[in-house]
């Protein structure tokens, strides 16, 4: 084990892990060739979900017990408008329809990040079987990164309705968040449609003539925590695992680094002055309706802190070892490292002063009265209002893991981290016959449900505690007993053990074949029973990509919140950085600017010249033009020879483009990051100066 001298109890064999990997690369994957939301090749889904589970169990047995109804009449809503959607909203079974569509053909980008780490981790350990090799697993892990590349514009939150930091939208897809749940197409087929046993639940309005059986993709939520996993933790851990043994660093041109560099812009937009990142851009919907203004999820911020540290460490290693770096590459890396330091320890970003993440966790997120972290809260009009109920298990287990017990004890008193775990057990654990089996989701569960994913996260946290509390034999013995009990009993949620475990209100034997993967495949169920989680979604006893992935981390003693998987507490001493340097990752060599279109009745395209060669070669700075009265964000090389804006009159059928305005090299050199360039028509040649 790489992180300490401890040897942890393990309850799965390498043969079991092979069967879990088979599940991850066959039962919860699809081929993205030609799909609207994706890129070609194998991509993950969040769940192994079958029509029988939804039709025979949820729509019949469960619905009968809970007074629910799966019946929907699918209609077109807002046809011909930007808000167009087709679904059963207004019908009794509308929510159940959206849930089963999401679970059947959707991928939460957090789940995809977990999937790619699990595959890369198994590959790095040399795991192979007849049919898969480390090379194949690394290739699949890379696919999850490619799916989020900015040319797959359909899954980026780069439209006007999303206001980052409640300030402005981001029109450049490279800089924007991804949606948290992505599908394999804009049209999603209801899994019950076309099945003679279940089709009676669904009817379509008589006006619908095309795409019968399908609804439009139902989920358009860009969530900060998922983006922390999808752009920082997942891809960078996978790249590190793949490259560290051969190169010793992640190459600068790797898609994992390039994607993360660009999306740092969105993260800095989303950080407020007290140091926390907002839960989602303004204008986003939540799980149960509009998100309150200023909503903050503490768990999301722990994910981002871990991801930012991983990114910083990856960049530092690349800077020191990648001999192919140009001076411009090195400047970009140093600037990004400085920006990450500001986000963590505080300073001035292009969007204002921030206390940094650590200050938020120490002074705002800690609930001293109860010895736990707040689930979240709101920061609105300068006021922080924490949410005290319900309590969340994962915010505490993840917070303990990311900050480390040494830091928590230093901030809040010796033994606080240990007591934190005792408090979580008191209100969030699941026990059977007096023995600890795992944890649920919240204090509102009444100890009635067990989650495989959240139990694995609790085991991960206890391992971190065990490393730091080794000198205290009493506390260590208690922690080891909890760890070993959960390691043994998490197996009760594995598909080959579930029925014999006898979970209260669990899935009955007649329905279990609907959730049992094919022979030779093992998986962990998401939860012990179907249950309305207090945070706005349903847990289902169906095989889960994330639950399965987390148990692979445990098998290989790998903490996904730290690069290389260590369990030791991090040193949070502030590094040497410039808290007043508000340059983003592209300011050294590239300027982030906004271009406003003030050309009357014309669309515009900003471009630049690299040098003075003739004839001049102009390179467009956007892939689509800026519409009348619109604006867009650009990245202009700071050493560009010239900048120009061309315009096209929208009533000109000849599609001719003409010059509007320009900036010379000397004018470009005086620009500052974050400024706005206003494009106006200046003269017949378009050589006049654009407004700055």
pLDDT (tens digit per residue) in 306-356: 999 999 999 999 999 999 999 889 989 999 999 999 999 999 987 789 999
Where are the alpha helices (H) located in 271-326, listed in sequence order?
Answer: 298-321
Number of Cβ within a 10 Å radius of residue 293 = 12
CA 549-554-559 angle, to 5 degrees, is: 90
Is the predicted pLDDT of residue 605 greater than 50, yes or no?
yes
What is the reported pLDDT for 79? 61
Is the predicted pLDDT of residue 185 greater than 90, yes or no?
no
Q: What is the mean pLDDT of residues 617-625?
A: 92
With a pLDDT cut of 90, the percent of the chain lying above it is 78
Q: Are strands 642-649 and 658-664 parallel, antiparallel or unpaired?
A: antiparallel
Q: What is the mean pLDDT of residues 478-504?
A: 98
What is the C-alpha to C-alpha distance for residues 187 and 542, in angstroms, rounded to an integer?
A: 24
Is the predicted pLDDT of residue 384 greater than 70, yes or no?
yes
166 backbone φψ class: left, alpha, beta (φ>0; ψ -120 to 50):
left
What is the C-alpha to C-alpha distance for residues 161 and 131, in angstroms, rounded to an integer?
A: 46
Could you tell me if 183 and 106 are in contact, meaning their C-beta atoms sit under 8 angstroms apart? yes
The two structure tokens encoding residue 448: 């009635």
Dihedral sign for Cα atoms in the order 153, 156, 158, 161: positive
DSSP letter for 529, please. Answer: S
In terms of Cβ atoms closer than 10 Å to its own Cβ (0-12, 13-18, 19+), residue 73 is: middle
Give the long-range contacts of residues 500-506, CB within 8 A, separation 24 or more: 501/432, 503/432, 503/450, 503/528, 503/529, 504/448, 504/528, 504/529, 505/448, 505/529, 506/541
Is the predicted pLDDT of residue 666 greater than 90, yes or no?
no
Phi, psi dihedral angles at 239 (to 5 degrees): -65, -40
What is the reported pLDDT for 82? 61
294 backbone φψ class: left, alpha, beta (φ>0; ψ -120 to 50):
left
What is the C-alpha to C-alpha distance for residues 618 and 616, in angstroms, rounded to an integer?
A: 6
Length of the chain, in residues: 692
What is each CA distance from 139 to 111, 261, 549, 629, in whole angstroms? 17, 22, 17, 44
DSSP letter for 517, please. Answer: P
| Three-class secondary structure assignment of 314-356 | HHHHHHHHCCCCCHHHHHHHHHHHHHHHHHHHCEEECCEEECC
**Could you tell me the pLDDT band of residue 24, with boundaries at 50, 70 and 90?**
very high
646 has which bridge partners?
Answer: 605, 659
What is the reported pLDDT for 213? 84
Whether this prediction's pTM lies above 0.85 is answered by: yes
What is the reported pLDDT for 266? 94
Residues 92-116 have pLDDT tens digits of 999 999 999 999 999 999 999 999 9
CA 499 to chain centre: 33
Q: What is the mean pLDDT of residues 420-433?
A: 97
Phi, psi dihedral angles at 366 (to 5 degrees): -90, 125
Sheet order of strands, 676-679 included: 631-637, 590-597, 676-679
For the CA atoms of 394, 399, 401, 405, what is the dihedral angle to 10 degrees?
Answer: -130
Q: Is the peptide bond before 69 cis (omega within 30 degrees of 0)?
A: no
Q: What is the mean pLDDT of residues 504-522?
A: 96
Q: Is the peptide bond before 292 cis (omega within 30 degrees of 0)?
A: no
What is the reported pLDDT for 2? 40
Among candidates 197, 225, 411, which has minimal Cα distance to 302?
225
Phi, psi dihedral angles at 686 (to 5 degrees): 70, 30
What is the reported pLDDT for 586? 58
What is the C-alpha to C-alpha distance for residues 690 and 599, in angstroms, rounded to an integer?
A: 11
Q: What is the mean pLDDT of residues 538-563?
A: 98
**Could you tell me the pLDDT band of residue 4, with boundaries at 50, 70 and 90?**
low
Q: Are strands 42-44 and 29-31 parallel, antiparallel or unpaired?
A: antiparallel
Concatenating the DSSP letter of every residue in 224-249 gives HHHHHIIIIIHHHHHHHHHHTTTTSS
Among candidates 223, 221, 308, 224, which has minimal Cα distance to 260?
308
Among candidates 271, 172, 292, 194, which has minimal Cα distance to 228?
271
Number of Cβ within a 10 Å radius of residue 425 = 17
Largest Cα–Cα distance in the chain? Answer: 85
537 has which bridge partners?
Answer: 533
Dihedral sign for Cα atoms in the order 208, 210, 214, 219: negative
30 has which bridge partners?
Answer: 43
- Can you tell me whether residue 690 is helix, strand or coil? coil
Among candidates 309, 332, 283, 237, which has minimal Cα distance to 586?
332
- Can you tell me whether residue 573 is helix, strand or coil? coil
- The set of residues, in sequence order, having a beta carbon less than 8 Å from that of 337 and lying 6+ positions away, is 312, 315, 316, 319, 577
Is the predicted pLDDT of residue 182 greater than 80, yes or no?
yes
**Could you tell me the pLDDT band of residue 285, with boundaries at 50, 70 and 90?**
confident
Q: What is the mean pLDDT of residues 74-101?
A: 85
With a pLDDT cut of 70, the percent of the chain lying above it is 97
187 has which bridge partners?
Answer: 216
- Can you tell me whether residue 646 is helix, strand or coil? strand
In terms of Cβ atoms closer than 10 Å to its own Cβ (0-12, 13-18, 19+), residue 580 is: exposed
Could you tell me if 586 and 261 are in contact, meaning their C-beta atoms sit under 8 angstroms apart? yes
590 has which bridge partners?
Answer: 637
| Residue-averaged pLDDT of the chain | 93
Least confident window among 74-83, 89-98, 157-166, 189-198? 74-83
């Amino acid at each position: 084990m790489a992180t300490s001298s401890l040897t942890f109890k393990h309850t799965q064999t390498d043969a079991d892990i092979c069967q879990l990997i088979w599940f991850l690369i066959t039962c919860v994957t699809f081929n993205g060739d030609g799909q609207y939301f994706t890129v070609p090749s194998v991509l993950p889904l969040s769940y192994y979900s079958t029509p029988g589970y939804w039709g025979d169990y949820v729509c019949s047995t469960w619905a009968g017990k809970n007074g629910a109804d799966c019946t929907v009449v699918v209609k077109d809503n807002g046809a011909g408008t930007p808000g167009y959607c087709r679904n059963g909203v207004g019908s009794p079974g509308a929510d159940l329809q959206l849930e089963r569509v999401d679970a059947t053909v959707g991928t939460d980008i957090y789940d995809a990040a977990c999937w790619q780490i699990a595959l890369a981790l198994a590959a790095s350990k040399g795991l192979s079987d007849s049919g898969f090799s480390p090379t194949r697993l690394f290739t699949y892990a890379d696919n999850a990164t490619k799916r989020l590349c900015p040319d797959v514009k359909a899954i980026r939150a780069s439209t006007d309705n999303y206001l980052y930091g409640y300030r402005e939208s981001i029109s450049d897809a490279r800089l924007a968040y991804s949606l948290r749940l992505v599908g394999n197409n804009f049209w999603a087929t209801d899994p019950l449609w076309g099945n003679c046993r279940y089709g009676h639940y669904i009817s379509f309005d008589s006006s619908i003539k095309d795409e019968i059986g399908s609804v439009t993709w139902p989920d358009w939520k860009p969530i900060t925590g998922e983006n922390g996993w999808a752009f920082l933790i997942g891809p960078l851990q996978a790249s590190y695992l793949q490259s560290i043994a051969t190169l010793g660093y992640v190459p600068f041109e790797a898609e994992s680094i390039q994607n993360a560099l660009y999306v740092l812009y969105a993260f800095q937009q989303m950080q407020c002055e007290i140091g926390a990142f907002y839960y989602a851009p303004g204008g986003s919907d939540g799980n149960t309706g509009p998100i309150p203004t200023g909503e903050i999820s503490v768990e999301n911020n722990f994910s981002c802190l871990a991801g930012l540290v991983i990114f910083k460490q990856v960049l530092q290693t690349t800077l020191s070892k990648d001999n192919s770096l140009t001076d411009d590459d090195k400047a970009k890396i140093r600037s990004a490292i400085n920006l990450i330091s500001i986000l963590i320890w505080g300073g001035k970003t292009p969007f204002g002063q921030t206390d940094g993440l650590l200050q938020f966790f120490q002074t705002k997120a800690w609930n001293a009265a109860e010895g736990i972290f707040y689930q979240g809260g709101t920061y609105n009009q300068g006021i922080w209002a924490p949410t005290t109920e319900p309590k969340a298990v994962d915010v505490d287990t993840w917070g303990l893991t990311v900050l480390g017990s040494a830091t928590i004890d230093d901030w809040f008193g010796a033994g606080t981290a240990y007591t934190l775990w005792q408090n979580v057990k008191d209100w969030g654990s699941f026990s059977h016959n007096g023995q600890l089996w795992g944890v649920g989701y919240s204090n509102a569960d009444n100890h009635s449900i067990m989650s495989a994913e959240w139990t694995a996260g609790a085991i991960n946290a206890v391992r971190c505690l065990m490393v730091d509390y080794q000198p205290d034999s009493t506390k260590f013995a208690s922690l080891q007993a909890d760890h070993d009990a959960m390691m043994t009993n998490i197996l009760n949620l594995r598909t080959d053990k579930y029925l014999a475990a006898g979970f209260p209100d669990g899935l009955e034997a007649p329905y279990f074949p609907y959730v049992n993967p094919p022979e030779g495949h093992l998986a962990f169920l998401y939860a012990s029973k179907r249950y309305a989680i207090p945070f706005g979604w349903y847990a289902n006893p169906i095989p889960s990509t994330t639950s399965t992935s987390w148990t692979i981390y445990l098998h290989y003693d790998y903490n996904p919140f730290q690069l290389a998987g260590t369990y030791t507490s991090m040193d949070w001493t502030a590094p040497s950085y410039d808290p007043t340097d508000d340059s983003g990752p592209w300011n050294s060599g590239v300027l982030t600017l906004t271009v406003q279109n003030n050309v009357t009745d014309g669309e515009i395209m900003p471009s630049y010249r690299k040098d003075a060669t003739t004839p001049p070669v102009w390179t467009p700075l956007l892939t689509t033009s800026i519409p009348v009265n619109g604006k867009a964000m650009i990245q202009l090389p700071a050493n560009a020879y010239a900048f120009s804006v061309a315009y096209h009159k929208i009533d000109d059928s000849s599609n001719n483009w003409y010059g509007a305005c320009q900036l010379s090299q000397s004018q470009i050199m005086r620009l500052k990051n974050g400024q706005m360039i206003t494009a106006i028509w200046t003269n017949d040649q378009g050589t006049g100066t654009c407004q700055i």
